[in-house]
Chain A
Amino acid sequence: MRADPRWLAALLLLAACRLTSGAEFGPAQLMQAFAAVPAAQAHFTEVRRSDVLRAPIELKGTLHYQRPGRLERRVVLPYQQVMRIEGDRATIENPARGQPKSYSLAALPAALALVEALRATLAGDLAALERHYRVTLEGGREAWTLNLAPRDPALAGAVAGIRFAGSAARLERVEIEETTGDRVTMILVDHQP
């Protein structure tokens, strides 16, 4: 049987593409892709498993991001809660309770490390990310997994490890393992610009 040269060429081309895209797609390329996104939002479902809980709790809501560092996390079920993060300030508001509470992230290193993982990734800021974590990437552009290992577990305090997964500049899954053994899984769907 004689090989069709066109097939062969197509196969070679495909292999070359794979090869180059595999070689080129590292944390820096992923960050570049995120850096090009000025704003994004998605619906999320978050499940937390913890020793202090009889059963996992599940939250539903939306996550909003706006360049360079604004995050808004709206929980609608099973209760309503809005959390806004801008710069050093984190504000939590429950409409039923009124009076938002405001915190300085600088005074809460564990919370800062956690917030920074999400915020720096969405902003495509690799330097900020690497300040807190050792960053490794698996997979390719269309299906990647970003692993974040805290540089100093004693300092990060609460976070044992974080794993983001997604495709291109789209975050689809967040997994957080805390030093207390708590695990958080967040699935993001219905992405909108």
Chain B
Amino acid sequence: MSPRAQVAVAVWLAALVASGTWLARHATVTTDLGVFLPPAATRVQEILVDQLRTGLASRLLLIGIDGVDEAARARASRELAQRLDANGVFVSVANGEPQRLARERERLFALRYALSPGVRPERFGTAGLRAALQEELELLASPLSSLSRRTLPADPTGELRRLAAPLAGTAGPALRQGVWMSADGSRALLAAETRAPGFDLDAQEQAAGLVRGLFAEIAPPGARLRLAGPGLAGTAARAAIERDAGRATLASLLGVILILGATYRSALPVLLSGLPALSGMVVGVTAVSLSFGPVHGITLGFAAILIGEAVDYPTYLYAHAARGEPLAKTAQRIGPTLGLAVLTTACGAIAMLLSSFRGLAQLGLLTMVGITVAGLVTWLVLPSLTPARALEGKLMRLPFGGGALVPGPRRWLAALLVAAALAVIAVHSGRLWDDDLANLSPMPEPAKSLDTELRAQLGAPDLRHLLVVAAPDREAVLQKSEALQPLLERAVAAGWIGGYDLAARYLPSRLTQETRRAALPDGATLAARLAQAQLGLPFRDGLFAPFLADVERARDAAPVDADAWRGTALASRLEALLAPGTEGWVALVPLASLGDTEALRTALQAHGDQDVLHVDLKREADALVAGYRAESLRLVLFGLLCIAALLAAGLRNLGLSLRVLAPALGAALLCVATLLAAGVRLSVVHLVALLLVIGVGLNYALFFNRRPAAEGERALTRLSLVVAGLASLCAALSLAAGSTPVLRAIGATIALGTVYAFLLSALLARRLPPGAV
């Protein structure tokens, strides 16, 4: 080993040990979507991201119980709800049983004189009390007497009724046997809200596991559990990706080992072929961990795919070795070409580093560092580690006359193919991109439809439309919300919206609380007015003593604060509806089933508060995805410019640079055209895959256009390219065979790209006479 090689091996080992030590101590992998969203977002986007990650909707677990008869289903629903309640994992569990909300009702009842908009001076005057009592009597003597009967002595003005109506939400599913059932009566329905936010996939998985476990304990034979929800979808998707990725890794590993084994006919080179890519991954992850902190799972996945290109590097080295040639010499010979192959990919990745999306920047850094390290290891370390004997038995040319399969230069055919691709893309130019966030979701189709079905049956809000109220402090934001309430009531009455929720319902502004307190008369006055109001009505004497006592207490009570709801489902609801933002406070007003957007917008304009915004989360999410995709595209194009410049500098020949660049770009275009023709729309995922296609395509073109040192080397180059191409194709096909949409999209794109890149490189290659490089 030369001194230089010794240094190289020592540095490599040191880097691996250092990286491994760092990773073992500090590396954390997150699954938080946040890093794939832009950081410097608008307030609206901040809210969107928050809603996606931690919002009420993200924490909802929808539960259905199928099979068995109605009575058994209802029993199971009750028992399951009770056991889930007893567990600290869920904030609330609803299945239609009225006593489920007992704690919330109790709290509402205790605080009714601070919370109810019905508390006004005229309501507590003699005439107001008289009207209230009369109304109460009429209700009592109607079939709806249960609405009034029990609360009458303490609440003759009916404040609890006013407060409890929104608590129950819009009319849920129908009750059968006392619990929620689907309209056709075949499924008992429950909704559970997890304490953990939706993006915390581990906690979500645990929550779902808990439901399954408890259900198994109480389920009558034949009963089936149906689960859906955003958190569950996330965990299911993660599990599917892990399963698919694991399978694909195994399949491609086997395939690649077979291909390389058949080529080298020796185990050692096959094993060593993995070293550069592995080293690159380890050092790359360390670099990301050092500069960004936690590494995102998606970054890791994408990077593993991009760095997969590095598996080809040892192939170029080993396949090019002439019989008996020391590998160090081979490395020197192909060094410049390999160097360009590495640098072009790294250069494409640099562009991503500039992204404002942390996820993309992470991906760029990981790819750049990983590929560079892999290239260096191949060039400087592998020759020292591979004994010359190990390659003695390797193939020296493609077997079975396979060389004939590699087409000779035919420019017109390449031009024709690319022209056809451009035509296809032009035809589809109107529907190129898919920016629906839902379609990026890796959720399998059956799970998606179950989610939709349960959501419809439960009448669960989709939380798509929101009003956003902003103000410098909490009191101001609450006052603004209260000012909005008459408009919202009008919107409900007119049918513009089905309903709404409002933080000020549970936490009125101090000002409003003061006003309400001032509306309550002192004990003696109230007693006198009540006696007057009761004249001629049949209520028993002394019946309303609890009322008098409660009003007296309310006059002296401390103002209601957010703490008042601790331990109830309303605490988390309030948290979701009212939160401090980056600048001041923000209140969210979810709107249920928006029917007339125009009318609402007009009314809001007339309302004239600039700090009240209507937000369509779906549209914002799509805009976000479009922004992400647009930036990725910009960066990919910028990366291509960098690559072109690098090629021009490295090859010092403009014509040759174009010849190298053309197959890679042509392959990407052909890939896009094929996907579009197959009815696929492009997303960010495809862009990342295309980046790899371009990287691989450049490698093929660089080696096809390399001036061989001797005539015999052509066969070796062809061998290396076919082996590398087959290995890539094998890995890509393993991915494409999975069931996860994201991985399939990546696999299919890369498989197509590999074939096209290889074909175009061959068709456009220049047959240079042997000579010095």
Q: Which residues of A contact B (CB under 8 A)?
A: 46, 48, 50-55, 57, 59, 73, 75, 79, 81, 83, 85, 88, 90, 92, 94, 97, 103-104, 106-112, 114-115, 118, 131, 151-152, 155, 157-158, 178, 180, 182
Contacts of B153 in A (CB 8 A): 52
Check A114 against B141 for contact (C-beta < 8 Å). no
Contact A51 B144 (CB under 8 A): no
Which residues from chain B contact A158 at a C-beta distance below 8 Å? 145-146, 149
B399 CB within 8 Å of chain A: no
Q: List, in ascending order, chain B residues with CB within 8 A of A55's CB.
A: 538
- In the complex, besides A48-B140, A111-B146, 15 extra interface pairs with C-beta distance below 8 angstroms are A46-B141, A51-B540, A55-B538, A59-B141, A73-B143, A81-B142, A94-B135, A106-B172, A107-B172, A114-B146, A118-B143, A157-B146, A158-B145, A178-B146, A182-B145
- In the complex, 14 of the A-B residue pairs with CB atoms within 8 angstroms, ordered by the A residue number, are A48-B141, A52-B540, A73-B142, A79-B138, A94-B138, A103-B144, A106-B173, A107-B171, A108-B147, A109-B175, A111-B143, A155-B178, A157-B146, A180-B149
Residues in B neighbouring A73, C-beta threshold 8 A:
142-143
Across the interface, A111 reaches (CB within 8 A) one of B137, B147, B539, namely B147
Determine how close the nearest CB of chain A comes to the CB of B165; give it in whole angstroms.
8
Nearest residue (CB) in B for A111 is B144
- Contacts A54-B541, A111-B144: A157 and B98 contacting too (C-beta < 8 A)? yes
- Report whether A108 and B144 are in contact in the complex, using a CB–CB cutoff of 8 Å: yes
- Whether A54 touches B538, Cβ cut-off 8 Å, given contacts A81-B138, A88-B171, A106-B173, is yes
In the bound complex, CA of A46 to CA of B145 (Å): 14
> How many of chain B's residues touch chain A, expressed as a range?
20 to 34
Q: Is B29 an interface residue (CB 8 A)?
A: no
Chain A residues with CB under 8 Å of B141's CB are: 46, 48, 57, 59, 75
Task: Report Cα–Cα, A157/B102, bound state, in Å.
Answer: 14
B41 within 8 A of A: no
Interface string of B329-371 (1 = CB under 8 A from A): 0000000000000000000000000000000000000000000
Q: How far is the CB of B132 from chain A (nearest CB, A)?
A: 11
Contact: B172 with A131, CB < 8 Å?
no
Which chain B positions have C-beta within 8 A of A151?
177
Chain B's closest residue to A96 (CB) is: B134
Report the separation of the CA atoms of residues A79 and B130 in the bound assembly, to the nearest whole angstrom. Answer: 14
B-to-A contact residues, CB < 8 Å? 98, 131, 134-135, 137-147, 149-150, 152-153, 168, 171-178, 538-541, 543
Which residues in B have their C-beta under 8 angstroms from that of A107? 168, 171-172
Structural contact, B149 and A182, CB atoms closer than 8 A: yes
Q: Which residue of B lies closest to A155 (CB)?
A: B178
Most buried by A among B143, B150, B173, B174: B143
The answer to whether residues A83 and B98 also contact, given A57-B538, A106-B171 and a CB cut-off of 8 A, is no
Residues of A within 8 A of B541 (CB): 54
Say whether A112 contacts B175, CB under 8 Å.
yes
Partner of B143, one of A57, A114, A182: A114
Question: Does B144 contact A92, Cβ atoms closer than 8 Å?
Answer: yes
Tell me the smallest distance from the CB of B173 to a CB of chain A, in Å: 7
Q: Is there an interface contact between B178 and A152, defined as CB atoms closer than 8 Å?
A: yes
Question: Within the complex, which residue of B144, B150, B171, B538 is in contact with A53, where a contact is CB–CB below 8 Å?
Answer: B538
**Do A53 and B175 form a contact, CB below 8 Å, given A46-B141, A103-B144?**
no
- Known contacts A92-B139, A106-B175, A109-B178; A54/B539 CB under 8 A: yes
A47: min CB distance to chain B, Å? 10
A112 to B143, CA, bound (A): 9
Q: How far is the CB of B689 from chain A (nearest CB, A)?
A: 50
Contact: A50 with B172, CB < 8 Å? no
- Going nearest first, the 5 A-B pairs with the smallest beta carbon separation are A110-B146, A155-B178, A104-B171, A158-B146, A53-B538
Nearest-CB distance from B355 to chain A (Å)?
A: 50
In the complex, what residues of A have CB within 8 A of residue B145's CB? 158, 178, 182
Residues of B contacting A157 in the complex (Cβ-Cβ under 8 angstroms) = 98, 146
- Asked if A50 and B143 make an inter-chain contact with CB atoms under 8 angstroms apart, the answer reads no
Shortest CB-to-CB span from A75 to chain B, Å, is 8
Closest beta carbon of chain A to B530's beta carbon, Å: 15
Q: Which residues of chain B have C-beta atoms less than 8 A from A103's C-beta?
A: 144, 147
* Min CB gap B499→A, angstroms: 11
CB distance from B40 to the nearest CB of A (A): 45
Minimum Cβ distance to chain A for residue B583 (Å): 40
Contact B176 A83, beta carbon cutoff 8 Å? no
* A residues less than 8 Å from B149 (CB atoms): 50, 52, 158, 178, 180, 182
Q: CA A115 – CA B134 in complex, angstroms?
A: 23
| A79 contacts across to B, CB distance below 8 A | 134, 138
Nearest-Cβ distance from residue B154 to partner chain A, whole angstroms? 12
Q: Are A115 and B143 in contact (CB under 8 A)?
A: yes
CB distance from B547 to the nearest CB of A (A): 12
Q: Chain B's nearest CB lies how many Å from the CB of A123?
A: 16
Nearest chain B CB to A149's CB is how many angstroms away? 15
Which of the listed residues A75, A111, A152 has the most CB atoms from chain B within 10 Å of its own CB? Answer: A111
B139 (CB) vs chain A CBs: closest residue: A92
| Complex alpha-carbon distance, A187 and B138, angstroms | 19
B140's partner among A52, A75, A106 (CB-CB below 8 A) is: A52
Q: How far is the CA of A131 from the CA of B146 in the complex (A)?
A: 20
Q: How far is the CB of B380 from chain A (nearest CB, A)?
A: 74
Would you call A88 and B144 a contact (CB within 8 A)? no
**A147 vs B192: C-alpha distance in the bound complex, in angstroms?**
38
- Pair A180/B538 contact, Cβ less than 8 Å: no
Q: Kindly state the separation between the CA atoms of A81 and B145 in the bound complex, as whole angstroms.
A: 14
How far is B176's CA from A151's CA once the two chains are assembled, in angstroms?
A: 12
Assembly CA distance A115 to B142 (angstroms): 10
Q: How far is the CB of B124 from chain A (nearest CB, A)?
A: 18
Q: Which residues of B contact A92 (CB under 8 A)?
A: 138-139, 142, 144
Separation of A108 and B175 alpha carbons in the complex (Å):
9
Whether the Cβ atoms of B176 and A131 lie closer than 8 Å is yes
CB distance from B406 to the nearest CB of A (A): 72
